[in-house]
């Protein structure tokens, strides 16, 4: 032992051309006691190839060979388990050198902190040893230079995506950004090209292979033979301010003339704005009418998570916004419709139940929109979904309320709660709580208990129809307000609501005199 531990360096060596390494990277490699690098089974390390001329003759070279490079593995923990063990073993090998006082340089192709294997060693060693990181030129920067394709200008947003994303998700993200880099191609390329086409970005996509290396090539992504695509390749989508395809609010440029060689587009109908209910979540709860409506529009406007549920396709432009700008969103949609665009405003559940329909009608009172007709396409509501999961708790007369006091005073909410309780109606409660509204559900429970039996049946549905769905049947007395959040919908039964021996909740249609 030397009495000191070695220093650990993560060194980016750039995308392939040794001349693209930084001076600092070259200095550290030339002085290293140990040079480590990752590689696949039976393959050379590209990072080592780049730095080969700088590695000292007396340096120890640690070749860290991946046990697997695809998703299949003969390991009890599968592919992830095999890699986890590999990273632990590799870290132990490097730690032995560091404990012996040797400085270790771990080579990383491109940049160490950008899709680099270095990061897994950093996670295991950086808190134990003095560590330095040398950035490197990432592959997409070299690819942009190779293609002479300026990626982003002015306020363009650049998004870096992995080609391993599910195809619909990749298409959605490509459509929602101005400029993009799609990495990790190889076998994923056919799906990537389909996603580019669906997002309307294929015409501006450039394929670059082995950027800055010998044998590199570039060509339009639409012309690439998928069978020839290696892992060391990526796709660049140049920014919209360069292509002139969209304005900064995401709308297509004015006018809807057909592109050269494209069939003429049908004439626009009279100005119409659709307001579409998407249902509570699962695709199979989207009604055929809603699906047909969405298939016929060129613009979808809505709250971000709802817009994300609309599959991307060629010609569709998405306009996502935050959760408390309903009127601004409605006006934007009406402006598009007034210009003759085919537009749908989307809402979760049913658009007419605490959804965007009322905001659209409110905004449409402006004389500017007198020539825009509004058509509401119904959707499966959250109360229907929760009720169906529980049984038939709203099988008799019932009321629906929102506990949000953002648009009405709480005293109005409380007055209506008492009125519903006095009328002995089953009650569906939307928006029971949020990060900024934590007391309303507790207050509502207290108010209802002043009028209802403590054993009144309560159904709490959380994320019904989505991952993590849960359904709890409890009572007013047993309801825990702290366990209720914005993802919940509550149904408070009437006096006659009962629970069957099988646990199903139902409210009789009849009421005893």
pLDDT for the residue 155: 87
Superfamily of the domain at 8-135? Tetrapyrrole methylase, N-terminal domain (3.40.1010.10)
User: Where do the structural domains in the chain lie, given as residue ranges?
Assistant: 8-135, 140-243, 272-377, 383-506
3-state helix, strand, coil in the chain (%, to 5): 35, 20, 45
Phi and psi torsions of 397, nearest 5°: -60, 140
- What the block records as the tokens of 500 is 């069957």
- Decide which of 3.40.190.100, 3.40.1010.10, 3.30.43.10, 3.20.20.70 is the CATH code for 272-377: 3.40.1010.10
Query: Yes or no: is domain 140-243 CATH 3.30.1490.20?
Result: no
pLDDT for the residue 144: 93
Residues 6 or more apart from 33 whose CB is under 8 A from it? 6, 59, 60, 97, 102, 103, 104
pLDDT for the residue 176: 85
Matching fold, domains 8-135 and 272-377: yes
- Decide which of 3.30.950.10, 3.40.50.1820, 1.20.1630.10, 3.40.50.800 is the CATH code for 383-506: 3.30.950.10
Residues 6 or more apart from 439 whose CB is under 8 A from it? none
Instruction: Work out the end-to-end distance of the chain between its first and last CA atoms, rounded to an integer number of angstroms.
Output: 92
Across 116-198, where does the E strand assignment appear? 131-134, 158-162, 179-183
pLDDT for the residue 244: 54
* Cα four-point dihedral sign 40, 43, 49, 52: positive
pTM for this one? 0.67
What is the mean pLDDT, run by run of 10 residues, along the chain of 513 residues? 82 96 97 95 92 96 85 71 91 97 96 93 96 96 91 90 92 90 93 92 92 90 93 87 48 38 50 96 91 95 92 89 88 96 96 96 96 96 96 96 92 96 96 84 95 96 92 96 93 96 94 79
- What the block records as the tokens of 221 is 């992504």
How far apart (Å, rounded) are the C-alpha atoms in residues 151 and 145?
10
Q: Tell me whether residue 387 is exposed, middle or buried, using C-beta atoms within 10 angstroms of its C-beta: 0 to 12, 13 to 18, 19 or more.
A: buried
């Amino acid at each position: 032992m030397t009495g000191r531990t070695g220093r650990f360096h993560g060194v980016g060596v750039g995308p392939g051309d040794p001349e693209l390494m930084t001076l600092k990277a070259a200095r550290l490699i030339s002085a290293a006691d140990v040079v480590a690098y990752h590689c696949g089974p039976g393959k050379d390390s590209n990072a080592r190839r780049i730095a080969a001329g700088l590695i000292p003759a007396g340096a120890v070279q640690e070749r860290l060979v991946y046990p697997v490079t695809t998703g299949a593995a003969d390991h009890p923990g599968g592919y992830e388990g095999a890699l986890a063990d590999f990273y632990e073993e590799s870290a132990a090998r490097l730690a032995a050198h560091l404990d012996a006082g040797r400085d270790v340089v771990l080579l990383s192709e491109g940049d160490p902190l950008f899709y680099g294997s270095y990061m897994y060693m950093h996670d295991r060693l950086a808190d134990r040893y003095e560590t330095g990181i040398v950035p490197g030129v990432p592959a997409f920067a070299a690819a942009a230079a190779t293609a002479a394709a300026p990626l982003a200008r002015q306020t363009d947003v650049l998004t870096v995506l992995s080609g391993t994303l599910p195809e619909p998700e990749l298409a959605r993200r490509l459509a929602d950004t101005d400029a993009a880099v799609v990495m990790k191609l190889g076998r994923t390329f056919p799906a990537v090209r389909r996603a580019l086409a669906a997002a309307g970005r294929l015409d501006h996509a450039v394929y670059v292979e082995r950027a800055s290396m010998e044998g590199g090539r570039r060509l339009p992504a639409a012309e690439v033979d998928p069978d020839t695509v290696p892992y060391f390749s990526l796709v660049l989508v140049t920014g919209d301010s360069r292509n002139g395809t969209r304005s900064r609010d995401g709308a297509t440029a004015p006018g809807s003339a057909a592109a050269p060689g494209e069939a003429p587009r049908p004439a626009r109908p009279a100005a119409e704005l659709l307001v579409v209910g998407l249902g509570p979540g699962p695709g199979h709860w989207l009604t055929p009418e809603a699906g047909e409506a969405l298939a016929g529009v060129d613009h979808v406007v809505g709250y971000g998570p709802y817009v994300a549920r609309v599959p991307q396709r060629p010609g569709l432009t998405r306009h996502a916004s935050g959760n408390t700008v309903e009127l601004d969103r409605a006006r934007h949609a009406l402006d598009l419709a007034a210009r003759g665009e085919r537009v749908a405003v989307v809402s979760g559940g049913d658009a007419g139940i605490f959804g965007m329909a009322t905001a659209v009608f409110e905004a449409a009172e402006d004389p500017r929109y007198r020539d825009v007709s509004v058509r509401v396409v119904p959707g499966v509501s959250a109360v229907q979904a929760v009720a169906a999961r529980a049984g038939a708790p709203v099988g008799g007369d019932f009321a629906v309320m929102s506990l949000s006091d953002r648009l009405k005073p709480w005293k109005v909410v409380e007055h209506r709660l008492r009125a519903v309780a006095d009328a002995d109606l089953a009650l569906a409660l939307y928006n029971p709580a949020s990060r900024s509204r934590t007391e309303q559900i507790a207050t509502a429970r207290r108010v209802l208990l002043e009028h209802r039996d403590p054993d009144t049946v309560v159904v709490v549905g959380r994320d019904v129809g989505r991952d993590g769905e849960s359904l709890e049947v409890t009572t007013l007395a047993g309801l825990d307000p702290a366990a209720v959040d914005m993802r919940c919908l509550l149904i408070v039964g009437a006096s006659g609501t009962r629970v069957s021996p099988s646990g199903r909740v139902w409210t009789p249609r009849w009421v005893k005199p």
